[in-house]
Chain A
């Protein structure tokens, strides 16, 4: 099993979610995050005083998948999140040792 982690632009979240649903993904976890990459922050002006905000808001998407689905889901995530502009984000895949469903105690791919 694999954990696919994507850091994407917030406005792309709906597209990504729909694409993953269409692929039959059973669940995703989403959180608001902030950070910096090659995309610069932005400036805000309050009563004439400029503030540079270094961190850019992004959405972090986590998906647990079976090994066989990894490539398909990863590619779908990349394609739907892409705008072609700087700041589109990153996706990485990490191996997962074990997964359990808390309600039933099922383990492994059955728990996905």
Chain B
């Protein structure tokens, strides 16, 4: 057999784990919105599983992993042609079949735009979301994945490292979320009127699913059933735990209570930050990275109040900031001995100097600029060309997305 069964098995399971993160994310966010908008939120996330899958098969995978261009792939794998038989350029030594690789990567393409839904909650027309996600995954996600994940991409060749998507997934979605809320505007009544979560139990279930799925996200990115995958899994769990504790400590001192939403948010912040680092750092350093992210993100979620952008469920505060924390800290904590095959140099703390850190800054910065600008342009164009624009009108916003966009109600408790 050409491929090791252990490798295939672990990456198959990982693909399923990462798939499960999108429903987990739907619950994580769904619990945080008001009851009248929970189906709208769940639907935006579930819809990603449908539309991104088809687009990935038709064109997304090819633009991300085909060809040898610096900035974008080509059409060699369009309509999923030759995917099963041909490894992507630069990945001839892939430890798993290319078909499995493409399927595993597809799950990342699904959850990345889904992350943006947390910022635009409660006010975007479903039709506008459909157009947005379809365009975004092709013109933003695929190119950025090519830059970073394809060995032919310019950030890969530059020498920046991103183990499982700190830049491609979290910085990318986080900065896109910021552009989206700036174009879309605030929810009616924000921040004067309270908009508290309608079901923190749903949010906690979602957090548990995300945490569980993240083992596939990070440890699966080893693309092998190997010691590297083991290290990545341990790091993932350590960072989640430390992120949760750090958030709770800061929260307790700042506002007097350790909250369940704080526990969930801190764990996710730790998971986000360890994503780029999972296969490049030692176990104790994963605890430090998770804790730093948990504490910084706890502060970052209050920036929206200061600057007045309605990032409803803190995609900027948790994913952009957490992704930046992890991507930049890799420049300090990276150890070449953890992952010698990758060629990663040592970070600042291990005598490797500032070279890696500099490349990480370039990677983070270029993804931010590209994603922010292109996301903004997509939404400004959609706002002009879509009849009715990209936002529901005031009355629909007041009565909720569930009824107006989907003609359903989540909780039919009232009989009258």
Contact = CB atoms under 8 A, between A and B. Distances in A.
Interface of A: 44-53
Contacts of B259: 45-46
Interface of B: 191, 194, 196-197, 251, 254-257, 259, 261-262, 265, 298, 301-302, 305, 314, 317
Given A46-B259, A50-B255, 20 more contacts: A44-B194, A45-B255, A45-B256, A45-B257, A46-B196, A46-B197, A46-B261, A47-B265, A47-B301, A47-B314, A47-B317, A48-B255, A48-B298, A48-B301, A49-B191, A49-B301, A49-B305, A51-B194, A51-B196, A52-B194
Contacts of B191: 49
Contacts of B197: 46
A95 to B, nearest CB: 27
A16 B196 CA distance: 32
Contacts, number: 33
Nearest to B256: A45
A54 to B, nearest CB: 9
Contacts of A50: 255
Closest 8 CB pairs of A and B: A51-B194, A47-B301, A45-B255, A48-B302, A46-B261, A46-B196, A51-B196, A48-B255
Contacts of B314: 47
Contacts of A49: 191, 301-302, 305
A53 B195 CA distance: 11
Nearest to B191: A49
Contacts of B255: 45, 48, 50
30 contacts: A44-B194, A44-B196, A45-B255, A45-B256, A45-B259, A46-B196, A46-B197, A46-B261, A47-B261, A47-B262, A47-B265, A47-B298, A47-B301, A47-B302, A47-B314, A47-B317, A48-B251, A48-B254, A48-B255, A48-B298, A48-B301, A48-B302, A49-B301, A49-B302, A49-B305, A50-B255, A51-B194, A51-B196, A52-B194, A53-B194
A111 to B, nearest CB: 24
A47 B268 CA distance: 13
